[in-house]
Structure 1
């Protein structure tokens, strides 16, 4: 039986990763990585970088993309670590599908990582630690509406991004940063009442304190392998993750729709 190969792409604030997945979601060959273009990242720069990271991987039949921001129906709403002003309204899903000549599905990167990490039991939460902080929620394996908790105040006037993002880790040092991450885990437990928390992202490796029994560090590669789940269900199943409350996705005020690369 012929395998359907999926090109999985994980767009981050500092690097764009890609790998080919087989039907089971296992990687075929080596993962590729290129630097994320300098901020603000234009649609043209983003598509060019995706071309570059995918070039060594060979042929594929479909594409999954994890994007670091709020995405609705494949269209970028916010992209704080890439440049919202440059990308808001950009229909990444449609543009990539036309550019690559393959079907494409785009979802928030923490949501995609969650698909690679969760067990599908109870209320499971994902916390990603990278350039910023990302979150995703799942109930019995089903994705719940995406909330950009990263931009909600967590300590004084600081958002989660500002409190435990990479800039804070560098500025405060690992010891103080670890204390902050431990505090955030406690806060999320009180607010969300998760059954289990999965911690991923490039900075998860810098956690030095003993994790509680209801928290686990997961491989960063889950942000790629989770991409297979985007093709294992009806695409309308992800409407809940894209648009809280259901209905059509609203454009950010004043943001033009962009359906092609300039």
Structure 2
């Protein structure tokens, strides 16, 4: 965030988190003391042509709706995007409109909403939330790797509580295939894999990540984490592996957390 990206927020107001996904853009005011939503989540359908300007307009509308419910939500706004984000600039667009590449997303969202906006990768936001408030909150030392199993595979690396951003471990090449093209939750559905068949593919994936990074804990997020009891035990690795606790709230909570800490610093 540069000084020119400053909106009319106050550091004492409640922060907002917004999660930009393929089907919906969701947001809420976030109580960072509890690590949870301060009220109901608001959702608007993602525009069919999800260009930066189109998404920014929806984000501005979401902020307005959230403010109607929480007039005290005058703090900074965190927005997740499914892309590599380097100092507020989107550097990839694997699963979103290609017009996002090299766009200053911080500036676009700030201009549209007149608020202080901090943009980050969606899996990174979820990983920070799970580390601070969720499944990994007791792991303050060592390496935690969160993976989100959805349309693709997102990842977040947190070492001693500090995020190493934009790991993109779903794009690892394993046995001649991009990992997420073999092991994402969407692939399980498309190929009608049994849980056991998918578990074998996940084992190959997590063993590869385990060999490269030797983490202390894997946290598995994404919508399919609700079915963790059906597949997590099928993943045969040495590293402890657990389901995310915050589920689909993690991205919003993590985005708000990052935005607030960026403003405070």
Give TM-score scaled by structure 1 length.
Answer: 0.80
Please give the secondary structure, in 2, of the residue aligned with 1:21.
Answer: strand
Cross-structure match for 1:131 = 151
Instruction: Give the count of matched residue pairs.
Output: 233
Separation in 1 of the partners of 2:125 and 2:32? 16
- Mind listing any 5+ residue stretches in structure 1 that lack a counterpart? 238-262
Alignment of 1:1-262 (within 5 A): 4-24=13-33, 25-38=35-48, 41-58=50-67, 59=71, 60-61=73-74, 62-83=76-97, 85-118=98-131, 119=137, 120-156=140-176, 158-175=177-194, 176-207=197-228, 208-211=230-233, 214-218=240-244, 219-234=247-262
- C-alpha distance in 2, partners of 1:234/1:56? 24
- What is the root-mean-square deviation of aligned Cα atoms in Å? 2.4
Deviations 1:41-68 (A, max 9, x none): 2112211232343342114321011111
More helix by share: 2
1:236, distance to aligned residue in structure 2 (A): 11
CA shift, 1:138, in A, is 0.9
| Structure 1 residue 232 displacement after superposition | 5.0
1:16 is paired with a residue whose SS is strand
- In structure 2, relative to structure 1, the CA distance for the partners of 1:190 and 1:184 (3 Å cut) is same
Indicate conservation of the 8 Å contact 2:60/2:112, yes or no: no
Query: Shift in Å at residue 126 of structure 1?
Result: 0.8
Q: Deviations over 1:89-141 (max 9, x none)?
A: 21111121122111111111111101110123311111011111101101110
User: Mind listing any 5+ residue stretches in structure 2 that lack a counterpart?
Assistant: 1-10, 132-136
